[in-house]
Chain A
């Protein structure tokens, strides 16, 4: 019998796979040019020609949603990578050295955590020129605390484990101890953290784009499409529905995956 957590994880994985495939296909093919306007055919309801209908400029919403999923995944991946690398450096240093270094680094992380995430992203994006690259960095910075804390606690758990002391007793260097003897044990909580950070990253990107600070027009983004659709919500509800559903689905997929993985891990230990 399959456990509930396995099912959760599989469902999450299926959703991500579906959206991921869509993003991958959009690299090669989208049904319509995403920026081609057709004033005559604006705000068409969904049909055979335009699956999700058209927007206020007559652009194909399905093509734009597809194109935007590529951006969403890119932002998620880059942000998680930035968060992971910075989080590893901070978390591993704090956890491995402990004491005074740990205090200083973790108080910095706490300060970052106490600051409202969206506000911080807004500041970062507005200080620099608002574009996709700045958005990714800002979102990456937001996910650093999450990774740093997970990695630090893993180091605290394993750095004085008997096999780590034994490895040091054989002359292993700090790098060997960190990368070979401690890190493999923390991989699974890191994967869980990465999955959850991915969904947060996509959500923050949508919010920033909604506020006009992320992806710049005319390029499509789920958040931007939501904000554009606002004035037409009564007349053309499908316009708002398409990006909304996709944001929800992606976030749901990554959360299900992360939760499922975490439950599986907790059960095992």
Chain B
């Protein structure tokens, strides 16, 4: 996997472009002009038991910024993205906290208001392009659906715009693709179609939920390139969800690491990859395969994620952490700022533990 390590290296090495990146993490309560999406202390609960699936999520996405969310399966990445879109499955419901897009609360908005924002102001690309397109409709019908709905375009205009967007995502012969059905296209082509559908109404926010997971590595790189280019051209903000650190390092400006329903560390790509501070993040970094480690056993974080029912009072990572101490069992560390926009949820990193330990 040389590509992955290239990405990581590239991200670690300071690049000229990184100077332009928006590196601020606004304080709570502050409303920034450049801030597009603000998530404050958000929690999502299971309807039947009221147990939180994700809790205490604080996250902002600036205009034109790409923010990555990384974490293993079941850590709540997708739940977070679905809650922003208002598409939570029927077993889950929004708990406390605040969700704002462009300063407008999504929490208090009616179903109708949220519906009119979907597609137009915020859009989503799903993980599996094989199942996210309706097999009974042509690509053209699916692409023009939201153009007619949100931009009130007529048949011909919508078609022209659809062709334009298919071309922008790098699809050859877009006219022919418009009249084909999803099963006639390959996975990479379908994901490009999904991107075109999500972006054709020029939303300010694009949520990409593992858009490259189902694709092979070369197609992955092309899809990432499309996303990156569209950010440059349209100033679209992207919330990029992945479990692939290499992809995150390549694409994102800032990263949030999620573990068992919480953000455990966040900061700019540089901060996080140069000096990861949470033991979980450090473990993740160590488990990236590298060419110089060829023949050696790949590092794996011991143990498994505590299930929803086993989350104790203390730190969620405590049972798998090599540095866990008494306090980690009893109290939940807070997400604390560590200079710049770097924030870590760990007693060890905050220095607090050492004092209390003695």
Whether both chains belong to one complex is answered with yes
| A residues with CB within 8 A of B | 98-99, 160-173, 176, 180-181, 184-185
In the bound assembly, the distance between CA atoms of A170 and B137 in angstroms comes to 15
In the bound assembly, the distance between CA atoms of A160 and B89 in angstroms comes to 8
B136:A162 contact, CB within 8 angstroms: no
> Do A170 and B123 contact each other (CB < 8 Å), given the known contacts A98-B90, A163-B132, A180-B137?
yes
Select the stretch in B38-46, B61-69, B112-120, B216-224 that faces chain A: B112-120
Nearest-neighbour CB distance to chain B for A173, whole angstroms, equals: 7
Nearest-neighbour CB distance to chain B for A158, whole angstroms, equals: 10
Which of A160, A165, A173 is the most central at the interface, judged by chain B CB atoms within 10 Å of its CB? A165
Q: Give B300-323 as 1s and 0s: 1 = Cβ < 8 Å from A's Cβ atoms.
A: 000000000000000000000000
- Chain A residues with Cβ below 8 Å from B149 are 170-173, 176
- Chain A residues with Cβ below 8 Å from B128 are 162
B145:A169 contact, CB within 8 angstroms: no
A172:B87 contact, CB within 8 angstroms: no
Which of B132, B133, B146 is the most central at the interface, judged by chain A CB atoms within 10 Å of its CB? B132
- Chain B residues with Cβ below 8 Å from A173 are 115, 149
In the bound assembly, the distance between CA atoms of A170 and B200 in angstroms comes to 10
B110 interface residue per 8 A CB criterion: no
In the bound assembly, the distance between CA atoms of A170 and B89 in angstroms comes to 16
- Chain B residues with Cβ below 8 Å from A180 are 134, 137, 145
> Do A184 and B146 contact each other (CB < 8 Å), given the known contacts A161-B131, A170-B123, A171-B115?
no
Q: A161-B131, A170-B123, A171-B117 are in contact. List 16 more A-B contacts (CB 8 A).
A: A98-B90, A160-B89, A163-B134, A166-B126, A166-B133, A168-B87, A170-B119, A170-B197, A171-B116, A171-B118, A171-B146, A171-B150, A172-B119, A173-B149, A176-B149, A185-B136
B85 interface residue per 8 A CB criterion: yes
Cross-chain pairs A/B with CB under 8 angstroms, 19 sampled: A160-B90, A162-B128, A163-B131, A166-B132, A168-B115, A169-B124, A169-B126, A170-B118, A170-B119, A171-B117, A171-B118, A171-B119, A171-B149, A172-B149, A173-B115, A173-B149, A176-B149, A181-B134, A184-B137
- Chain A residues with Cβ below 8 Å from B133 are 163, 166
In the bound assembly, the distance between CA atoms of A168 and B123 in angstroms comes to 10
Nearest-neighbour CB distance to chain A for B7, whole angstroms, equals: 28
In the bound assembly, the distance between CA atoms of A23 and B96 in angstroms comes to 66
Which of B89, B134, B137 is the most central at the interface, judged by chain A CB atoms within 10 Å of its CB? B134
Q: Give B174-198 as 1s and 0s: 1 = Cβ < 8 Å from A's Cβ atoms.
A: 0000000000000000000010011
- Chain A residues with Cβ below 8 Å from B145 are 167, 170, 172, 176, 180
B120:A171 contact, CB within 8 angstroms: yes
Q: Which residue of A lies closest to B134 (CB)?
A: A163
In the bound assembly, the distance between CA atoms of A172 and B134 in angstroms comes to 13
In the bound assembly, the distance between CA atoms of A253 and B213 in angstroms comes to 50
Q: Which residue of A lies closest to B114 (CB)?
A: A171
